[in-house]
Amino acid sequence: MKTWYKACCDDHKEMIDIFVNNVATTAHYLLEKDDLINAWMQLHYGCSLRLIHHDADLDICFNNDYKIIKN
């Protein structure tokens, strides 16, 4: 089982996949999205960011219409 983690910006109500389980798994699934993730992180530098992965946290974001940035 893989655990996907999202970075969540509460200021802009956005979230993006940022890593999976460990470095090797993250590279396998997200390496091609590195530029997109980096750009999103730079755009949200100084924002209220948090890391989420629990279903309850994801449900809160979904219920509050957070935008998912597609990798």
Output the pLDDT for position 1.
Answer: 86
Q: Which residues of the chain have pLDDT under 50?
A: none
> Domain span at residue 41?
4-69
Nearest to 53 by CA among 7, 14, 10: 7
Total number of domains in the chain: 1
Output the pLDDT for position 71.
Answer: 61
Contact yes or no for 15/52 (Cβ under 8 A): yes
